[in-house]
Amino acid sequence: MSRQAVELAEAFSQIITDFAALVESVPDALWTVPIENDARPLNVVAYHVGSSIAFELRVLLAGADGRDSIITWDDIDAANALDADEHADVTRAEALQELREHGAAARAVIAGLTDEQLALVVNVPFLGGQVTVRQIVEWLLIGHPGMHAPDIRAAISA
């Protein structure tokens, strides 16, 4: 078992735990408020972070197998717009379920990566091109919740 993979899995697990706590802390009256700097309301963004883990996991697994990603920002923008339409009425319980279920699956995958897999370099256009599998974990799986958390905090304190 790779020590660095276990450390990454623990860091991912912590960010998911922290994000879930943030989602739980949102007052009911603010659950559907618009988020500044985002075209989606708070509930949709909270759900999006959890539901995106499945997509992020596919990118990670492809990279761990040495395969490049063909996904672009245009693909992600289109998926996010569709997600916003389909989940406009998402509940807190649904958002938390996505976070916890997908988070647990991703944590297990991350922890099982080898040092060799983490060092592989693949092309992921929406992450800027050539990246290591470790960077996919750090920038995408760990970074994504951290990217949305400040906007949620700002919506709560506004």
Are 75 and 135 in contact, with CB atoms under 8 Å apart? no
Q: What's the CA gap between 90 and 136, in Å, rounded?
A: 28
Other Cβ atoms less than 10 A from the Cβ of 57: the count is: 18
Rg, Å, the chain Cα set: 16
Domain count, the chain: 1
Q: What is the pLDDT along the chain (158 residues), one digit of tens a residue?
A: 799 999 999 999 999 999 999 999 999 999 999 998 888 999 999 999 999 999 999 999 999 999 999 888 888 888 888 877 788 899 999 999 999 999 999 999 999 999 999 999 999 999 999 999 999 999 999 999 999 999 999 999 98
- CATH no. for residue 143? 1.20.120.450
For position 37, what pLDDT does the model report? 84
**Residue 113, phi then psi, degrees to nearest 5:** -70, 150
Are 62 and 69 in contact, with CB atoms under 8 Å apart? yes
Q: State the residue range of the domain holding 139.
A: 3-157
